Structures are given as C-alpha cells and as structure tokens.
Amino acid sequence: MHVLPYLVAAYVFLTGCYGLAASRNLIHAVGCLAVCQCATYVLLLAVGYRDGATAPVFSDVKPGSRPVVDPVVQALTLTDIVVGATVTALLLALVLQIAKRHGTIDPDELRELRG
C-alpha cells in the first residue's frame, strides 16, 4: 500500500508508451498518449495525499478541525488535465489532416519523411 499508487502511475506511463510505440493507427496512438498522461494525474495526487485527511474545501468543514490533503497538487492536476485535453484535440486535428492527405492513418504506411 505504501508504494502501490506510485507503482501504478509508473506502470500506466510505461503501458502508454508501449501502446504509442506499437500502435498501428494514429487515432489509437493519440489515445495511448492520453493514457500516458493519466499516469501524471495519479502520481501527482498520490504524492499529495495525507492519511485520514479531508478535501481542502472549507465550506462545511471548520478550518483547523481536520487535516486536509495537499491542495497544490490538485491545482497542478487540474492544469494538467486541461493541457491533456487540448493536446489530444490538436493532435487529433493533425491526424484528420493526415487521413486526408495520405489516405491512411497507419504509421507503417506513412513513408514520406525518411532519411
């Protein structure tokens, strides 16, 4: 339990990398990149967790009555999620153009840029 969340994050990251390298379809590859990014969310939030603590929102918890988890990593993760969504969108837009110009989205068949 002490290291499980970290190991899961590392595993998810490497799995995503494998999928990215082995992908036969560029849309699938972009999806794998999104998987890689999930690893960063898990790692960040795991780092900020504190046993027995509550969410750092004080609308119904009296300040100081209970420990709270680290709010900074949550803010970082929020930023990270936006970054992920936008990168996915932009890469998908590029994949669509590749489909139009090359007639395929299989990376093995894209043979223009070599050497």
Segment 67-86, which members bind other proteins (CB under 8 A)?
A: 67-86
- Cα(55)–Cα(71) distance, rounded to whole angstroms? 8
- Under the binding rule (CB under 8 A), the answer on residue 59 touching other proteins is yes
Give the total residue count for the chain. Answer: 115
Determine the size of the site formed for other proteins (CB under 8 A). 105
Secondary structure element (H or E) that encloses residue 62, with its range: none
- Under the binding rule (CB under 8 A), the answer on residue 65 touching other proteins is no
Residue for token pair 């999928």: 19
- Under the binding rule (CB under 8 A), the answer on residue 37 touching other proteins is yes
- Under the binding rule (CB under 8 A), the answer on residue 112 touching other proteins is yes
Sites for other proteins among residues 14-33 (CB under 8 A): 14-33
- The least CB distance from residue 106 to other proteins, in Å, is 10
- Under the binding rule (CB under 8 A), the answer on residue 62 touching other proteins is no
- Structural tokens at position 41: 């969310």
- The least CB distance from residue 65 to other proteins, in Å, is 12
Cα angle value 54/58/61 (rounded, 5°): 65
Query: Residues 38, 12, 76, 83: is their CA dihedral positive or negative?
Result: negative
